[in-house]
Amino acid sequence: MQRTSIRDDLRSYWEVTKPKIWYLLVFTALISTFISERVNNVSVSIIMYLLVFGSVTAGSAAANTLTSYIDRDIDAIMERTKHRPIPSGRIKPNNALYYGLSLTCIALILAWLINVYAFALMIFGLFDNIIVYSKWLKRRSASNIILGGFSGGAPALIGYVAASIQNIELGLILAGLVFLWTPTHIWSLAMRVKDDYARAKVPMLPVVMKEDIAIRIISIATLIMVVFSILPVFWGYFNIIYLVTSIVLGVIISVMSIVLVIKPTPNRSWQLFKFSSPYLTIIFIFMAIDAAIHM
C-alpha cells in the first residue's frame, strides 16, 4: 500500500507541472540550440544541451506549477480542470507552492550556468507567465494570452543563445513563431470550452466576444503565423526543404481556420487546437533539417 501511495504522489507532482505543455517548449529550446549551432558554425557540448534541457524543463514545470497554485479556485470550477492535482485535493496548495518555488530555483541556477542571457530570459519568461499572465491578466483582460504569450517564446530564445548570440535576429524569429502560434493554440481550445471559462469568469476571447468575431480573430491570427513562418526563407536563413514544409503545413492549418469561420462548430475548433501542436513541432523539425543540410 505504501508503494502505491508513493507512486500516486509522484504521479500527482508530475501532473501538476502540466508535462503536455512543457514537452513542446523543451523541444523548441533544444531544436533552437541545434539551429543556432549550425547557423553560427559553433560547437555546442553535450553538457550545454543538458543544461538547456534541464533549465527549460524546470522553468516550464515551475511556471505551470505556480500558475496551477494561483488558479486553483478557477480550476475547481471548470469541468476540464477540476480533476487536476490541487483542486482535486491530491496535492495541498502550500506543497504545490513550495514545489513550484523549488523548481524555479533549479531553473535559475541551471540558466545561470548556461550564460547571463539565458538567465535573464528565464527570469523574464517566469515573470511573464506567472505574474503578467496568471496573476494580473487572466481574470481581467481578453489580452491575457497575448501579453502572457511572450513566455512561450522564451524557451526557444534561451536555447538559441545557449549556443551563440550571433545572428540573434534568427533567435528572435524562432521565439516569435512560438509567440504567434500561441493565440491559435489557446483560443481554439477556449472556443470549444468557452462555457467552462464563462462559468469561472475568465475573460478569454470567445467568452467576451461574439462567436463569429472571435473565430475571425482566430483565423487572422493563424494566417499571420503562417506568413511569419515563411519569411525566414526570404531572409536567407532556410532553403527549399523548409520552404515547402512551411507552405504545406501553412495551407493545411489555414484551411482548417477558414473552414472554422465558414462552419463554426466545437469539433472544428478542437481539430484546429489538436493540429496546432504537431504543426509547430514539424515546423521546428524541418528548420533543423534544413539548417543541418545547408549550413
Domain count, the chain: 1
Residue 217 near residue 205 (C-beta atoms within 8 A) = yes
Domain that includes residue 210, residue range = 2-294
Take residue 98 and report the three cell numbers written for it. Answer: 513550495
Domain of 202: which CATH number? 1.10.357.140
- Determine the 3-state secondary structure of 200 from DSSP: coil
Q: State how far the Cα of 139 lies from the Cα of 98, in Å rounded to an integer.
A: 24
231 contact partners, CB below 8 Å, separation of at least 6: 173
User: Residue-wise pLDDT tens for the chain (295 aa)?
Assistant: 344 478 899 999 999 999 999 999 999 999 999 999 999 999 999 999 999 999 999 999 999 999 999 999 999 999 999 999 999 999 999 999 999 999 999 999 999 999 999 999 999 999 999 999 999 999 999 899 999 889 999 999 999 999 999 999 999 999 999 999 999 999 999 999 999 999 999 999 999 999 999 999 999 999 999 999 998 998 889 999 999 999 999 999 999 999 999 999 989 999 999 999 999 999 999 999 999 997 6
| DSSP reduced 3-state for 136 | helix
The reported pTM is 0.95
